[in-house]
Structure 1
Amino acid sequence: MTKTITRVVPAGARPAPERTDTAPPARRGPGNRPSVLLSKAGVTAMLGLAALYTLLPMLWLVLSSTKSREDLFATNGFAPGKDFALVDNLRYLFEVDDGIFLRWLLNTILYAGVGSLLATVFSVAAGYAFDKLNFPGKEKLFSFVLLGVMVPGTAMAIPLYLLAAKAGLVNTFWGVFLPGLVFPFGVYLARVFSASYIPNEVLEAARVDAAGEFRTFCRIALPMIAPGFVTIFLFQFTQIWNSFFLPLVMLSGKDLFPVNLGLYVWYSSALSQGHPQDYLLAIVGSLVSVVPLVVLFLMLQRFWKSGMTAGAVK
């Protein structure tokens, strides 16, 4: 049974208009129109330009590596070599000067691979300590870490050289390897990842079970922060692999050169002494030096993506 409710309207009063669920869309004035750059077409165009800016140098590098020394300057830069001499160029690259390029490549793998792995372990441990442990002067020490983030690496090359000269590490493997173990930005990222990935309740449960701090970090915290570990590793690996100014200041013997410094020597020789074969060696060597970075990012991209999006969704 339903009841009908009748609204009584006083005499002389006008009934209120009925409300509708849908309202007409408000018209946009000339000042409310979205910017052309923020429209879908504008964003697509900007992304296309960014992709061209990134891919065109790589395309030029690949195509130039297929040319012979005669075709390098006689053909269009974005045209492949007439004889497709990529295999011959790679063979010449690894045979010149008794295989010095392979030595440079192995040096760079040691500098970047081992150095970035140790730097990541130290950074994650320090970030975990700054986030989960309480000790006197913690925030003041972390302020010094942030200060180290703001100082560019090139500004530290000369002070590091002077310290290495007093310690007798100039023109040695350790003179380039040891500075790569310090990564202030990695400590900052590790603290952020520790706060996002590691619940305090899990650590409290481990401490109740009589687990020490070191065991708690190795057995519980470190596996939980694995995406952040990979992200920090990739950042430091790329930074050391692309390092140039510190090896330039620190090293004088060719046997200790990383790839970047060796390619610079070949390129300088081509410009100053007019050796076109050195110019071709610099181009083909640059292509080979990019391959490990691409392979590493493709192998670890799953962890890197999850690490970069940490904390984006709650």
Structure 2
Amino acid sequence: MFDHKVLYIVGFLLSVGCMLAIMPRLIAYLHKINFGQTEREEGLASHKKKNGTPTMGGIAFILVPVILYLLFAVIGFFPLDTNIGIILLAYLGYGLIGFIDDYIIVVKKDNTGLKPWVKFLMQSVLAVAFFLLYASREPMDIWIPIANIRLNLGNFYFILVFLMFTAETNAVNLTDGLDGLCAGQMIIALVPFFIFSIRQGFDNIAFLIIIVIGALLGYLRFNKHPAQIFMGDTGSLALGGFISAVAMVLKQEILLVLIGGVFVAEVLSVVIQVTHYKRTHKRIFRMAPLHHHFEKGGMPETQVVHRFWFAGVILSALGLWLGVM
């Protein structure tokens, strides 16, 4: 019987190694077929130089962990249970929605991508499916940090899961606007869930999380400023679905809001900006999402990313402390 700690290390190193080997070839191939980013006309002038940078890099950090987990499962190291099934389906399902969106933007040269209502409908269908699959075998309750009690929400749990999946996937998607920001922030946010899964005895979930972290680290090597590749909606929606599913099966839905506080701030900045502008025709932020507000104020892109990462570390540490106290 192999020590799970050894398997975590082996899986992590394999995931990083596979990404470091795959990414240069993927970047070259995407360049060859002209799968490049098209910056919005109303976007920041400093971002115009990013036009043509390959996108859809999320394909790699989706497929590498999924294939690695399936290989380890076939060998017999980890089971393919319902919890893992939900997480993998969320990862692949939301990634597929993002892929369709990216395909329309890149291949069809339509920078609007999927119509918002179509994208939301597809996200909603997946959220409902995951709720039905999970609720068919688990109680509809949530764990309250600090108080250390479980509260049964009954049918209201559906609303929580629905909002969690749809809001989180869009929040992560909005965060993917600066080189390295989203990937680094997701690595930071996943660390507490890795520890939660070990403490709860879900070694298979811990293994899946650590190989996703490894894949993101490998990807970040090519996505840090100046980025050689972007994850696209393929990657950002997949990551939002992944962390939402992990939070659901680990009963850490409330702590997801805190640990993913940077993602929450990004999506709230857009909601606040749009709502306020429609009412007053005035802007609260220089530009939304929030990271562009700081950029437009003159802060260098790398400095914005590092400060957001630092905020993410603080929030993740606080969420981890609340989750284990």
> Same fold by TM (over 0.5)?
no
Between structure 1 and structure 2, the one with the greater Rg is 1
Larger RCO: Structure 1 or Structure 2 (Cα < 8 Å, ≥ 6 residues apart)? Answer: 2
